[in-house]
């Protein structure tokens, strides 16, 4: 409840292609908290996540987003990343010719700022890969180029575990994963999760919430959060679907 | 823009054309081919600029000229040596490196074709023992008359075009590479073609014959004598892959910013022959290249790769051809072009499959990355498929760097400038990987040099 929450989303409106798709979302994520953001396809979850990360197609037209009490809206996406924000993409980009290792190396170097601190990189990378059951061969593969849906999601979580951001937005990291992969990836998320960081877990299935326990659950419909509460909301959703929330007036709990 | 004026100075230049290059060791039959080519050159009109291959580059740029300090052209009395080099260490770093690599056994042959000096060809003892032949073309004319007569000017002869006829007339310092049947040479053969410091035109020529089931890799590198001359060149390369052979041919063009170059290459494949072509173009003011594989035999395999990086006001004009004349041929082409500043590139890629050719596959892709607004690229695929049993795809893209890719990098904290560099390097990396390993760092360096000033 304190205003020093790690991430504060304050009445955020997002426009894409001239259309308002997020219509006033307010949400605080404190240290050690895992918030689940649930909603049907097209409700605006990815638009919100992308806009927070600074995606050029998603404009925040009003409201504010604060990380550690500081507004990030004037910051370029790379500055937001260095400040501690991370987005695991729903549809990660393929970048032919750039290896997973090279990409991650550059991302870490941008934080450490010193080649000398990169000496242990291979070791760190392989350890993180082992934990996520990712074959070392992937280090030399071109980023997401020809990867299966599940492989892409694992690589996103691999990045999370190496970059150790303060706040992670995980956009449908569970989709496209079979049950074994879901377990491995969830364990990866749980290993990352600590009292020092926060997670916004975006999903439209409650499935992943069996493995990654949320402290709070929010339901998003048509660009608005229509209900917030404890984990029981996810179960309720599971049982009766999103329709029951449709008519519920907006009740925002922070 | 259709017809260019031919002014009197150009006509004068034509009359000033020397008889033929005076290649001291040439046998008479070779000299008579050259004399025939001279007639061809003089009787052919300048290509019409409405003709498709000439839409992008002014043909008059390539006319023979005997500019002020170029009297020695074609009349030079070249010393042809196969032992000593005339270039002092430090003058040509590429040559120094190549010689070190030769000494270390990393290269099979180093040939320096120095427009102002000797043609110096050195083979490792191992390559010699394996039977590899690397000789000045005119000198080889006597000893390998049969093979040379059968192949020289057969893929790119005087009738090919006006400027190919010019090369056939005036070639000098020609190089003949011949791998007899079953000869396998693992290390690359490195040919260095250094332009003339006196700003005259040079006419390099290369004939490569890969015997049955032989294997070889040839790197053919063209570069300027220094940064200030206009050491223009008109080069012709003919590659013959006989039955079951495998040839990789790499052409690296890194002339200085004042140089005009015209380059024509044809590879002809017999049954079961394979070839990989990598064309890397970095240099020059104007560079026009015509690269092609004629898949004459059955079950041939031809891969063509291009890597072009333009900057400043450079102009590139690349044409590729895959001509499929045998059943079960497989061809794939991937031409990557990166342009910055006000550079310009035109790419035309022809796939032709003759009538009644069974089961062939032909793929073609050309991607152009424009790093700023001033850069321009055109891409024109040309398909002439005269038969049904063909799987053929082609794709071309021209555009700036994908902002979605850039955003992915930014979201990981990688600054924009670094992201762009990484994406461009990534764009060309798969092609760089096809170069002989010992060459890769150097060519990567040429890419990085151009990225430094983004
Ligand atoms: N890049 C885009 N261009 C145009 N419309 C978009 C774009 N991204 C999202 N939208 C639209 O915004 C709305 C919300 O989409 P999105 O945020 O992806 O929802 P969710 O992630 O909840 O499935 C949808 O109507 C979708 O069509
Ligand atoms: Mg989404």
Q: Which of B336, B325, B260 is nearest to B298 (CA)?
A: B325
CATH class of the domain comprising A5-245: alpha beta
Contact B410 A95 (CB under 8 A): no
Q: What is the mean pLDDT of residues A120-124?
A: 96
3 state DSSP class of B323: strand
**Predicted pLDDT of residue B13:** 44
**Predicted pLDDT of residue A251:** 52
Find out whether B445 and A111 touch, Cβ atoms under 8 Å.
Answer: no
Ligand nearest to the CA of A21: 1
Chain B contact set for A56 (CB, 8 A): 403, 407
A222 pLDDT higher than 70? yes
Distance CA B392, CA B353 (A): 10
Report DSSP state, residue B19.
Answer: S
* d(CA B48, ligand 2 centre) in Å: 56
Domain assignments of chain A as residue spans, ordered by start: 5-245
Nearest CB to A78: which of B404, B416, B430?
B416
Chain B contact set for A93 (CB, 8 A): 402, 404-405, 407-408
3 state DSSP class of B281: strand
Residues of chain B with pLDDT under 50: 1-15, 67-84
| Residue B370 parent element (H or E) | strand B360-370
Q: What is the mean pLDDT of residues A42-71?
A: 97
Find out whether B365 and B335 touch, Cβ atoms under 8 Å.
Answer: yes
- Nearest-CA distance from B426 to chain A in Å? 4
Q: Mutation test of the interface with chain B: which of A49, A75, A77, choosing the one with the most B Cβ atoms within 10 A?
A: A77
Q: What angle do CA B232, B234, B236 make, to 5 degrees?
A: 150
**Predicted pLDDT of residue A53:** 98
In this prediction the pTM is 0.91
Q: Mutation test of the interface with chain B: which of A72, A78, A158, choosing the one with the most B Cβ atoms within 10 A?
A: A78
CB pairs < 8 Å spanning A and B: 81
**Predicted pLDDT of residue B21:** 76
**Predicted pLDDT of residue A205:** 86
Residue A250 banded pLDDT, cuts 50, 70, 90: low
Residue predicted with more confidence, A135 or A249: A135
Look up the ipTM and state it. Answer: 0.95
**Predicted pLDDT of residue B218:** 98
**Maximum distance among all Cα pairs of chain A, rounded to whole angstroms:** 58
Distance CA A98, CA A77 (A): 20
**Beta A85-88 vs B330-339: how paired, if at all?**
unpaired
Q: Mutation test of the interface with chain A: which of B400, B407, B416, B421, choosing the one with the most A Cβ atoms within 10 A?
A: B407
**Predicted pLDDT of residue B99:** 95
**Predicted pLDDT of residue B287:** 98
Contact A103 B410 (CB under 8 A): no
Distance CA B176, CA B148 (A): 9
Return the ligand 1 atom nearest residue A47 CA.
17
Contact A82 B413 (CB under 8 A): yes
- Nearest-CA distance from A192 to chain B in Å? 17
Chain B contact set for A159 (CB, 8 A): 412
Q: Which of B374, B379, B378 is nearest to B340 (CA)?
A: B374
Distance CA B164, CA B262 (A): 9
A3 pLDDT higher than 60? no
Find out whether B322 and B353 touch, Cβ atoms under 8 Å.
Answer: no
Find out whether B320 and B293 touch, Cβ atoms under 8 Å.
Answer: no
Find out whether B384 and B353 touch, Cβ atoms under 8 Å.
Answer: yes
pLDDT digits (tens, 9 = 90+) for B359-403: 999 999 999 999 999 999 999 999 999 988 899 999 999 999 999
Contact B427 A97 (CB under 8 A): yes
* d(CA A91, ligand 2 centre) in Å: 9
Nearest CB to B412: which of A54, A81, A97?
A81
Residue predicted with more confidence, B76 or A38: A38
Chain A contact set for B422 (CB, 8 A): 95, 98, 102-103, 106
Contact A76 B426 (CB under 8 A): no
Q: Whose CA is nearest to atom 27 of ligand 1?
A: A42
Distance CA B37, CA B40 (A): 5
Q: What is the mean pLDDT of residues A172-195?
A: 95
The response to whether residue A57 sits with its C-beta less than 6 Å from ligand 1 reads yes
């Amino acid at each position: 409840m304190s205003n020093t929450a790690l991430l504060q989303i304050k009445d955020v409106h997002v426009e894409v292609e001239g259309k308002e798709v997020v219509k006033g979302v307010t949400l605080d994520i404190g240290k050690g908290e895992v918030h689940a953001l649930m909603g049907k396809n097209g409700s605006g979850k990815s638009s919100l996540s992308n806009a927070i990360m600074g995606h050029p197609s998603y404009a925040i037209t009003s409201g504010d987003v604060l990380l550690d009490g500081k507004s990030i809206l004037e910051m370029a996406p790379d500055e937001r990343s260095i400040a501690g924000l991370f987005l695991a993409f729903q549809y990660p980009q393929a970048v032919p010719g750039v290896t997973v290792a090279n990409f991650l190396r550059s991302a870490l170097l941008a934080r450490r700022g010193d080649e000398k601190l990169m000496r242990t990189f291979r070791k760190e990378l392989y350890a993180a890969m082992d934990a996520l059951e990712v074959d070392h061969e992937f280090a030399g593969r071109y980023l997401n180029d020809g990867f299966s849906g599940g492989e892409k999601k694992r690589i996103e979580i691999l990045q999370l575990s190496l970059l150790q951001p303060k706040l992670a937005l995980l956009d449908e990291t569970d989709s496209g994963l079979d049950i074994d992969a879901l377990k491995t990836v969830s364990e990866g998320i749980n290993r990352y999760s600590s009292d020092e960081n926060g997670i916004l877990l975006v999903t439209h299935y409650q499935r992943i919430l069996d493995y990654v326990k949320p402290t709070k659950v929010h339901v998003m419909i048509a660009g608005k959060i229509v209900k917030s509460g404890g984990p029981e909301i996810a179960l309720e959703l599971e049982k009766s679907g999103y329709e029951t929330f449709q008519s519920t007036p907006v009740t925002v709990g922070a | 823009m259709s017809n260019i004026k031919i002014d009197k100075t150009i006509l004068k230049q034509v009359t000033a054309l020397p008889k033929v290059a005076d290649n001291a060791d040439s046998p008479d039959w070779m000299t008579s081919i050259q004399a025939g080519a001279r007639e061809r050159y003089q009787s052919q009109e300048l290509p019409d600029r409405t003709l498709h291959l000439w839409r992008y580059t002014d043909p008059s740029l390539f006319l023979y000229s005997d500019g002020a300090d170029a009297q020695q052209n074609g009349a030079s009395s070249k010393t042809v040596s196969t032992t000593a080099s005339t270039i002092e260490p430090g003058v040509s770093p590429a040559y120094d490196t190549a010689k070190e690599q030769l000494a270390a056994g990393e290269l099979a042959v180093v040939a320096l074709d120095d427009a102002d000096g000797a043609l110096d060809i050195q083979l490792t003892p191992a390559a010699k023992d394996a039977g590899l032949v690397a000789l000045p073309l005119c000198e080889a004319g006597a000893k390998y008359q049969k093979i040379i007569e059968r192949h020289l000017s057969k893929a790119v002869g005087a009738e090919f075009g006006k400027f190919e006829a010019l090369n056939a007339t005036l070639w000098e310092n020609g190089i003949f590479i011949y791998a007899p049947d079953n000869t396998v040479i693992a290390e690359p053969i490195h040919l260095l073609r250094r332009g003339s410091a006196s700003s005259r035109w040079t006419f390099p020529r290369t004939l490569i014959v890969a015997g049955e089931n032989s294997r070889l890799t040839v790197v053919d590198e063209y570069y300027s004598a220094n940064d200030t001359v206009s050491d223009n060149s008109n080069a012709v390369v003919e590659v013959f892959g006989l039955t079951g052979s495998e040839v990789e041919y790499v052409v690296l063009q890194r002339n200085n910013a004042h140089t005009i170059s015209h380059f024509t290459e044809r590879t002809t494949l017999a049954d079961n022959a394979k070839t990989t072509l990598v064309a890397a173009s970095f240099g020059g003011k104007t560079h026009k290249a015509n690269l092609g594989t004629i898949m004459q035999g059955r079950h041939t395999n031809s891969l063509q790769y291009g890597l072009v990086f333009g900057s400043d006001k450079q102009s590139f004009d690349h044409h590729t051809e895959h001509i499929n004349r045998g059943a079960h041929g497989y061809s794939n082409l991937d031409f990557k072009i990166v342009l910055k500043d006000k550079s310009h590139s035109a790419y035309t890629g022809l796939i032709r499959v003759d009538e009644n050719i069974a089961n062939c596959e032909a793929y073609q892709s050309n991607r152009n990355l424009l790093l700023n607004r001033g850069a321009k690229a055109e891409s024109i695929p040309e398909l002439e498929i005269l038969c049904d049993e063909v799987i053929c795809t082609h794709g071309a893209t021209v555009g700036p760097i994908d902002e979605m890719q850039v955003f992915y990098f930014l979201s990981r904290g990688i600054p924009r400038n670094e992201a762009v560099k990484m994406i461009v390097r990534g764009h060309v990396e798969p092609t760089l990987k096809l170069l002989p390993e010992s060459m890769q760092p150097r060519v990567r360096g040429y890419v990085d040099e151009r990225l430094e000033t983004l």
